[in-house]
Structure 1
Amino acid sequence: MAKQNISKRNLQFMMKEVFNAAEVTSHPRFEHIDAEAIDMILESTEQIADNVAAPIAVEMDHVQAELENDKVTVHAKVHEYTRLMGESGLIGVFAPLEMGGSQLPVTVNTASGLIMSAANNALTMFSGLTSGAANLIVSFGNKELQDTYLPKMFSGEWQGTMCLTEPQAGSSLHYITSVATPTGEPGKYKIKGQKIYISAGDYEGVENVVHLYLAKIEGGPAGAKGISLFVVPKYRPENGQLVDNDVKTAGIFHKMGQRGTPALHIQVGDEDNCYGWLVGEEHRGLPQMFQMMNEARIGVGVTGAAIASAAYYEALQYAHERPQGQRLDIKGQDPNAPQTLIINHADVKRMLLFQKAIVEGSISLILQGAKYADYELTTEGEEKERYQLLLDFLTPVIKTFPTEFGVESVSSSMQVFGGGGYCTDFPLERLYRDIRITTIYEGTTGIQSLALLGRNITMKNGKAAMAFFQEVTKDIQAAKTHNELKPFAEQLEKSAQELQKVTQHLVGFAMKGQVELFLKDATLYMELFGLVTVGWQWLKQGTVAKEALVTKNPQGDDLHFYESKIHTMKYYFAYVLPRTKGLIDPLMNAEALTVDAAQQALIM
């Protein structure tokens, strides 16, 4: 029997009761999908996760990717996994049917990703990157590019990547120096440059690697406005053959975690024989790449929540098996009495409830974003704009809360294990290493925080922020109809008001042109915003659970499930949401200790 890494019952609750994923299948875009098909897709995912992904998670960590004799080796099962994902239609998930895609609702693909990442987060990088790269070609590539690359990518035969970062540029992409030189043939350029940290950028056994590559066309505008997007394959198709395209692996980065997925230093055009094909318009590469980057950011949030989920279920099982100490409520303890299981200790239950609150709150937040994405695809006019705004607005939070709080959650899992959790005998040390990178992938927490406060809060003159608070208010009012939930609805209402007050205070600096004062504590603002946002998600879940208890008369496991939902919601509001109080004071403090600090203050 496969080990539990994620709650299938919780996913059913989220998909069917909280977000009603089958609702969008009434739209013509998804008329080929129904509730039964959704169940079949998730069952297929579970089979791959249980039978292929989970059994090799430890091996992929211990026998990490290596570069030897110019060849990158990965676990042999990677190819079986990508083939199965292709056969299941889980790589071309968003692509139209006429292009060979599955055209699935985003909510369904997101739930599938949670299941797979919880089983083996390093393995899902391979299929996720291919899916994102292929989706860029679907959205912006011409028909020739689509016909050439999509079938092999959708089948899992060809790997896809995103090539952004360069050694001298890091996250400041306007400083990239990769150059594209026109060849005289429409859309075809010579490419020369290098990229670093390219996940799944090359490995033995894969037939081809298709890099979605950012470069600047010679003579184009300076900075970010001059960036264009290209398909740069490892082997270029010519006359029915695959020809070496002068794309070489210069080095491999040995990572703290996710060791089974190679992160590579790629050099292209050293022999002046590398060609790339323009995707979309010239000098529009960065806006186009943002599609994949935003998909990847949500994917990183999925990974964070999934790893935290796997760690939680490890800790939960261990707490039910490990005897230690005696219960504190037994007077006159008998030193000869048997020890109690640690699940009976209040502090252990506190740590487990914290993990459950973070994991299930994060999953709810992620699926909320996925539902907005589905609505954006199936609505028109002002309604479509509203859902696009909400998705764009929340994307930095969806990336950040599950990863930052996920790290803390996995740390609590390790604490439940005690010293054993720090050893390779248990999976906690691997999961702790794996999740740490998620706060850095696709833009660090600091960068995401700057995006939330510096761009999204003021987006469309505050229209996106207003739409968000309207969504929160709507669910607060729904919760107030239940007497048991009314105190929590009022608590969230107060927290949301305090968040708005802090927001107005900070935006005041921006209106005066004091940008550094506006953004100096953006990371603290992100934490505050995330706490309130996930409080909203827990109130939403609590309301649905309460309504089920009132109307469905559940029994047995269902009764326990709904009661557990409400209990965990109460825990979040008692233990986690109050953290906002410690963030409001520094955010409202006008003293610029970090802005005005001289170097001497940091080194003396």
Structure 2
Amino acid sequence: MAQYYSRRNLNFLLHEVFDAASLNKYPYFNAHDRETIDMTIDAVTQIGDNLMYPYLRDLDRNPPELHNGKMTVHPKVGDYLKAMGEAGLIGTSFSFEDGGQQLPETVSSCLGFIVMAANNGMMYTGLTSGAAGLINSFGTDELKQTYVANMLSGKWQGTMALTEPQAGSSLSDITSTAAPQTDGSYLVKGQKVFISAGDHDQCENIIHLMLARIEGAPKGTKGISLFVVPKYRLDGADNDVTSTGVYHKLGQRGVPAMHLTMGDRDDCRGWLVGEPHKGLSYMFQMMNEARIGVGMTGAAIASAAYCASVQYAKERPQSRRLNEKGALDSPQIPIIQHPDVKRMLLLQKAVVEGSLSLLLETARCVDIAHASEDPEEKEKYHLILELLTPIAKTYPTEMGLVAVSNGLQVLGGYGFTEDFPLEQYYRDIRITPIYEGTTGIQSQDLLGRKMTMKGGKPAQLLFAEVAKTIAEAETHEELKPYAQKLKAELGRLQEVTMALMPYAMQGDIERYLMDATLFMEMFGIIAVAWQWLKQGVVAKNALLTQQPEGDELAFYESKIHTMKFYFHYEVPKTLGLAVRLKDTEVLTIETEKELAL
């Protein structure tokens, strides 16, 4: 079995950097310790090894098919759903009371990382968990009892049905309608597009969490409500949800992306979740969870690509060292020994392991904000979570794409062929910067909302956490220069923010957010530099206190080496970004004539 993720690195992050087991100090998580955490990871890895990774290419080459309104997907999807459901691994973060394992999100998110690294063409269970979570949080007891258990068992699939042909990401422009009926249901009518896992034959029912407007509701986002719209009603009757089409995608071909029509025969019933007109605020719960999940998917695909790249580079002999070019009688060397190949591999490693660390940092905020009984601590981690979420979605997906591209380059011409998995990983990861809000949308959220929230308090709280890591690193001579570099980067980020704020204060929001994506890129680089310094501190402490040997020694030394690589190769990019962000020249507003062909 080829590797698709590093268990040693996952253990390092979970147990040494973030000490996930220590979350059991909160009563909500006190049923779990390192043993239960490791057992759960073992169970998911077994499913990944046996039911997912071996079928990576098969799902890609045998995509879903729609015939006469019936959608068929690869039969191994059914085996996967059954295994995950029977093992209780779909709703791991749900409470015991609601049929879950009450695991910290810090651990549950790692399970998502493993399955997506094994085969991201089986992106079904995360959608179901998110949809079930919405019903569980906001639905009536009747809705919970009707739907949640069947969804967490893997028998029923869940989806989020938001996007419409004319609206795209602008959800305020949706036109789907819902008319109240005397029996408490609503008559639903509309179209939804790009609905992942929106229909398939490997489960008994599809449960859509759908946004629509109740007749007479106000326009804009305030008039949107959320409904449970099943493919089949509880009596088995067809609910007038039609699979109108399936999109033929560049990647992630194992998961159908559907065009659905609700109410073609005026007989589609939906059931209101929560209160009328609050659907978008409810949906944001699932969307925020999904943003972290998409970031994890980006890191996971990049992880699988990195494993494949390292394996190839170790086995592929080509040429000789640059200083020995004339010695043609000497044997060729594995390409992993060539400096430029090693640079590309180190970039992959830095992105994968830095991204995963950032995502676990974010998940830890989810856990403490949820489980803490201290109001001040609860608010602190909620605000840091608000700030980190768009970054945790964006950096692993945008830089994950760059990492996979570098992996493909490591393989050279072979990387561009179907003989190796890199070309598939490159296709698969390309959707992740688009899912759950494009990079541009995430960037506007970061700069436009999160940086200004509560007078900038989330950023102040985050920077205080970074300062703690800097102080720890400064106790080690080897790490001190990197601590000082990170301190300077925080200053640069604050300087850029202060240069932009006057536009926001003047109400020129378009100018303020014009280069929000560049701000996101800069912030992402710095956030991951923080994570690498944090890993460097833990690795340095382990070297000093444990005096490891062999593979363990190499592991900790590689951590410090990769940290240094990140600071020397990636962090300097903030210099150019800062120059542009402070530049007063406006080049991207009202430029249609400049783009004429």
Settle same-fold status: TM greater than 0.5.
yes
Contact 2:159/2:195 (<8 A) preserved: yes
Q: Structure 2: how far apart are the matches of 1:429 and 1:148?
A: 42
Read off the aligned partner of 1:301 and give its amino acid letter: G
Contact 2:77/2:202 (<8 A) preserved: no
Is the counterpart of residue 528 in structure 1 residue 522 in structure 2? yes
Offset, 1:335 = 2.2
Q: Structure 1: how far apart are the matches of 2:303 and 2:412?
A: 18
Q: Structure 2: how far apart are the matches of 1:211 and 1:127?
A: 14
Q: Structure 2: how far apart are the matches of 1:101 and 1:481?
A: 42
Is the counterpart of residue 210 in structure 1 residue 207 in structure 2? yes
Q: Structure 1: how far apart are the matches of 2:508 and 2:147?
A: 48
Match of 2:563 among 548, 569, 572: 569
Q: Tell me which residue corresponds to 2:371.
A: 378
Is the counterpart of residue 133 in structure 1 residue 131 in structure 2? yes
Offset, 1:372 = 0.7
Is the counterpart of residue 14 in structure 1 residue 7 in structure 2? no
TM superposition outliers: structure 1 runs of 4+ over 4 Å: none
Q: Structure 1: how far apart are the matches of 2:283 and 2:212?
A: 12
Is the counterpart of residue 236 in structure 1 residue 233 in structure 2? yes
Read off the aligned partner of 1:23 and give its amino acid letter: S
Q: Tell me which residue corresponds to 2:353.
A: 360
Offset, 1:376 = 0.8
Q: Tell me which residue corresponds to 1:327.
A: 321
Q: Tell me which residue corresponds to 2:307.
A: 313
Q: Tell me which residue corresponds to 1:428.
A: 422
Larger mean Cα displacement after TM superposition, 162-171 or 506-515: 506-515
State the SS of the aligned residue for 1:72. Answer: strand
Q: Structure 2: how far apart are the matches of 1:475 and 1:314?
A: 33
Is the counterpart of residue 602 in structure 1 residue 586 in structure 2? no
Normalising by structure 2, report the TM-score. Answer: 0.99
Q: How many residues align?
A: 596
Match of 1:161 among 159, 162, 167: 159
State the SS of the aligned residue for 2:52. Answer: helix
Q: Tell me which residue corresponds to 1:248.
A: 242
Match of 1:191 among 188, 192, 204: 188
Read off the aligned partner of 1:101 and give its amino acid letter: G
Offset, 1:338 = 2.0
Q: Tell me which residue corresponds to 1:262.
A: 256
What's the % identity of the aligned pairs?
A: 57
State the SS of the aligned residue for 2:237. Answer: strand
Contact 1:475/1:540 (<8 A) preserved: yes
Q: Tell me which residue corresponds to 1:351.
A: 344
Offset, 1:423 = 0.4
Structure 2: runs of 5 or more not aligned: none
Q: Structure 1: how far apart are the matches of 2:24 and 2:390?
A: 28
Contact 2:316/2:335 (<8 A) preserved: yes
Deviations 1:176-232 (A, max 9, x none): 00001010233x211110100000010123210000000000111211000000000
Q: Tell me which residue corresponds to 2:487.
A: 493
Q: Structure 2: how far apart are the matches of 1:7 and 1:508?
A: 46
Match of 2:409 among 403, 408, 415: 415
Normalising by structure 1, report the TM-score. Answer: 0.98
Contact 1:393/1:452 (<8 A) preserved: yes
State the SS of the aligned residue for 1:252. Answer: strand
What pairs with 1:265-284 in structure 2 (closer than 5 Å)? Answer: 265-284=259-278
State the SS of the aligned residue for 1:385. Answer: helix
Offset, 1:77 = 0.8
Contact 1:94/1:135 (<8 A) preserved: no
Q: Structure 2: how far apart are the matches of 1:566 and 1:34?
A: 28
State the SS of the aligned residue for 2:100. Answer: coil
What pairs with 1:446-457 in structure 2 (closer than 5 Å)? Answer: 446-457=440-451
Contact 1:95/1:138 (<8 A) preserved: no
Q: Tell me which residue corresponds to 1:99.
A: 98
State the SS of the aligned residue for 1:210. Answer: strand
State the SS of the aligned residue for 1:593. Answer: coil
Offset, 1:429 = 0.4
State the SS of the aligned residue for 1:276. Answer: strand
Q: CA RMSD in A?
A: 1.0
Q: Tell me which residue corresponds to 2:38.
A: 39
Q: Structure 1: how far apart are the matches of 2:509 and 2:29?
A: 45
Structure 1: runs of 5 or more not aligned: none
Offset, 1:596 = 4.5
Q: Tell me which residue corresponds to 2:177.
A: 179
